[in-house]
Amino acid sequence: MSTGETWGAAFASATTDSMSVYDRIMVPRIFDPWADLLLDCVGVAPGDAVLDVATGPGTVARRAAVRAGASGRVSACDLSPAMLVMATAKPPDGGAAPITYLHGPAEALDVPDEAFDLALCQQGLQFFPDRAGALTEMRRALRPGGRLGVAVWCAIHECPPFEALAVAFERVLGAEVALTFRTGPWGLPDPGELGRLVDAAGFTGVEVVRRTLPVVFEGGPSQLLATAGAAVVAPLIAALDERGRADLLAAATEALAPLTDAGAVRSELASHVVTARR
Ligand SMILES: C[S@@+](CC[C@H](N)C(=O)[O-])C[C@H]1O[C@@H](n2cnc3c(N)ncnc32)[C@H](O)[C@@H]1O
């Protein structure tokens, strides 16, 4: 199993409690702003039918639903029951397209052929056991001329707060744990490989661009470290005794010092955004 697949399996078996940190800390500071960027890149028109693959707690689906409006429709799938519990618990936005949430893998989408104007996948592809199969499924679900938008993080050193966390994990939990962290969400960093994957799935007009957005953890290193509760390393951190947890926070605080200003961690994250057409 690749590291990305290990992370994917961990999401799938996670409890809602452990994933709540993702929704509470990561979504507003990271995934919501990136969802807006992805939707700007792809373009959503009123009335569009939108498919969001690996929707997590409905991040892209909900923002696409607002843009598609009441005459649109959104289907959103994820493999993680915990993520879908959080997604379905959120009240719909006024005037937004209805969202249907589906439990299942990206590699076997439970949707009809040629049913969508847009297929979107934000920070999911790197976790799929069969990336080519998932892209083929997204193409199958798109009507001819329909548009694809996929976002995948660049290398972890281009996402400095998380590279600093990896350094802290290496110091306290060891090199192997740090490598597992580094090569999960940041495990598909080559824009050439990304473009070739989308191209090989039969899409046309494939474009890969590198984008950056600022990120702020106003709660400082401890708030950023808390996001590891939704990561593959979470059980190892939970198993640390009080001294171990203090060592980890000290290591994270030290590694994050160049990014910390008046108690807040301020930096930027870089992602590749792929757009293409069926
Ligand atoms: C980093 S989260 C991104 C979630 C969401 N797109 C967002 O922007 O907040 C990755 C998501 O991929 C999902 N995932 C991983 N492997 C999957 C698979 N094979 N099929 C469907 N979803 C999968 C996880 O359950 C998780 O919700």
Query: So what's the pLDDT on residue 169?
Result: 96
Mean pLDDT of 24-35: 97
- How many Å apart are CA 224 and CA 228, to the nearest integer? 8
Provide the 3-class DSSP secondary structure of residue 49.
strand
Cα–ligand 1 centroid distance for 7 (angstroms): 9
Q: Report residue 17's pLDDT band, with 50, 70 and 90 as the boundaries.
A: confident
158-192, pLDDT tens digit by residue?
Answer: 999 999 999 999 999 999 999 999 999 999 999 99
263-272, pLDDT tens digit by residue?
Answer: 999 999 999 9
Q: How many CB atoms lie within 10 A of CB 1?
A: 9
Average pLDDT, the chain: 95
213-252, pLDDT tens digit by residue?
Answer: 999 999 999 999 999 988 888 888 889 999 999 999 999 9
Asked if residue 7 has pLDDT above 80, the reply is: no
- How many Å apart are CA 156 and CA 159, to the nearest integer? 5
Ligand 1 proximal residues by C-beta, below 6 Å:
8, 11-12, 27, 31, 54-56, 59-60, 78-80, 83, 105-106, 122-124, 127-128
Parallel/antiparallel/unpaired status of strands 49-53 and 73-78? parallel
Q: Report residue 15's pLDDT band, with 50, 70 and 90 as the boundaries.
A: confident
Beta bridge partners of 142: 116
Q: Which CATH class is domain 3-159+185-217+266-277?
A: alpha beta
The answer to whether the Cα torsion of 42, 50, 277, 208 is positive or negative is positive
Parallel/antiparallel/unpaired status of strands 116-122 and 204-217? unpaired
The residue extents of the domains of the chain are 3-159+185-217+266-277
Cα–ligand 1 centroid distance for 12 (angstroms): 9
Q: Which atom of ligand 1 is nearest to the CA of 128?
A: 19
Cα–ligand 1 centroid distance for 187 (angstroms): 14
Which among 97, 99, 7 is positioned nearest to 55, based on CA atoms?
A: 99
Query: So what's the pLDDT on residue 13?
Result: 83
